[in-house]
Structure 1
Amino acid sequence: MNQTPFSMPNPSLYTEEDVAQLVHTFYAKARKDPSLGPIFEAHVIDWDAHFVQMTNFWSAQLRGTSRFRGAPMPKHIALPELTAELFERWLQIFRQTTEELGNPNLQQHANAIASFIAGRLWQGYQISNYPDKQPIALRTL
């Protein structure tokens, strides 16, 4: 996925440890969430590999590294019965996580990227799965 239009990655603002902490803390919360947890548990086969992939993704977005290799859109489009509420819940947990980490720069940058990504994935999901309906935007939280 290309860099979002919000701000450029900056390796001087966040360490790899900051990125890994964000990923691990977020997924610890999401896996326990009654609405998101069952989806993740049903579709993530290898959590260690998923953590590596997500850490690489967020490192690319936040720090400008080039380790991420993947195509998030097809994987999300293939999931059954996703809803705007699920994407909004994902964002809510993500934002809680960045707030708790106590790094205002990381919080602002990561939240902007997460909002952009969630919106794009939800739009792509709707276009692919409901081609005869007008896509509906996520609510701003």
Structure 2
Amino acid sequence: MTDQPLPNPLRKFDISAEEINRVVAVFYGRIRTHAVLGPVFANHVTDWPEHEEKIAGFWRNAILREGSYYGNPMRVHVSRPDIKAEHFPDWLDLFYQVLSEELPHDIGRKWAVLAQRIGEGFRTGIVSMRQPKDAPPVLF
């Protein structure tokens, strides 16, 4: 019998919490200097270490299933009118760049697929939830 914990069978792919934390820190370091996204984030993030820990918890929960995030990120994004649907392709491009630089290809690709799905969900949700109630739907 060993003292090592069993791996979580619900985890999405093999990555450590430390790797997730590092990717998030590098990504937000780049966000702060991004010409388009930097000012949007600066309007809302007053404590970068706290924000990075919250978002790293989101990703650790999404990937490792560690129960480290509680919140409603869709509501947060929709409630901030300066966050636009057109920001998500820039966000994803920057995130993909960090993943490709910081992680082995197969792990970065798996995370990129998950990020694409989540990012597209946010983008679609923002468009949908901001539509006037009686307006025709926006078809993508």
Map 1:91-102 onto structure 2 (within 5 A). 91-102=92-103
The two structures have a TM-score, normalised by structure 1, of 0.83
Query: What residue in structure 1 maps to residue 130 of structure 2?
Result: 129
Query: What residue in structure 2 maps to residue 25 of structure 1?
Result: 26
CA RMSD of aligned residues (A): 1.7
Deviation per CA, 1:75-114, whole angstroms, max 9, x where unpaired? Answer: 1001114333311000000000100013223211211111
Map 1:102-141 onto structure 2 (within 5 A). 102-131=103-132, 132-137=135-140
The two structures have a TM-score, normalised by structure 2, of 0.83
Map 1:77-88 onto structure 2 (within 5 A). 77-88=78-89
After TM superposition, the runs of 4+ consecutive aligned structure 1 residues lying more than 2 A away are 8-11, 81-85, 133-137
Aligned mates of 1:42, 1:116 — CA distance in 2: 25
Match of 1:43, SS state, is coil
Match of 1:49, SS state, is helix
Q: Structure 2: 5+ residue runs without aligned partners?
A: 1-9
Letter in 2 for 1:134: P
Deviation per CA, 1:33-86, whole angstroms, max 9, x where unpaired? Answer: 100000001111221211111111111112121111111011100111433331
% identical aligned pairs: 26
Question: Relative to structure 1, is the Cα distance of residues 84 and 136 closer, same or farther in structure 2, using a 3 angstrom cutoff?
Answer: farther
Instruction: Count residues in correspondence.
Output: 129
